[in-house]
Structure 1
C-alpha cells in the first residue's frame, strides 16, 4: 500500500520476504485478526482460542524483520474493520 522498505536490521533478522516487496501493512496479521474477529461472535470457544495464534503471527512478523510494529498494528486494524464489515453488511460480500 505504501512505499516503505522492510526493517531487516541485524544479522539475526532473517526474512523470507523478497526485498522488493513493501512492508506496510502486514497482510498476514490482517488475515489472522480478521479470521479471529469473524469467528469469535458465532463460536465463543474458538473466539477464545484464536487470538493466541493471531498474536503469535503478529509477533513473528516483527521478530523476523519482515515488518515494523506499526505495520502489524495497521494490519490488525484492517483485519478488525474487514471482519466488522463482513458481519454487519453481509450483502457486500461477493459470491464467486
Structure 2
C-alpha cells in the first residue's frame, strides 16, 4: 500500500489516514512516472497512486471566496487619495435621491 507502506492490501482499502505530501511522497511519484515512461506495467494500486493529486475534496472547497460588492466599494475609500471628495459626492447623491 502506497498510503501506509504496508503489505497485504491496496491503498484503496487502507484504513489509515492518507499519506502527507512530503519529499518521500514526491520521490515515489517520480519513480512510478519514470517506470511507466520506460514501459513497465504498473499494478492497480500504483496507477491509483499516480492518479491521486494528493488533495481531498474538502481542501479544494476551502479555497472558495465569497465577496460582497458593497463591502469592496467601502474598502476603496481607505485607499483612494481623494476619498473626501468621494464621500461628499455620496452625500450629495443621497440628498438628491431623497428629494
Shorter-normalised TM range: under 0.3
Q: Structure 2 length normalisation: TM-score?
A: 0.25
TM-score by length of 1: 0.25
Who wins on radius of gyration, i.e. which is larger?
2
If asked which structure has higher relative contact order (CA below 8 Å, sep 6+), I would say 1
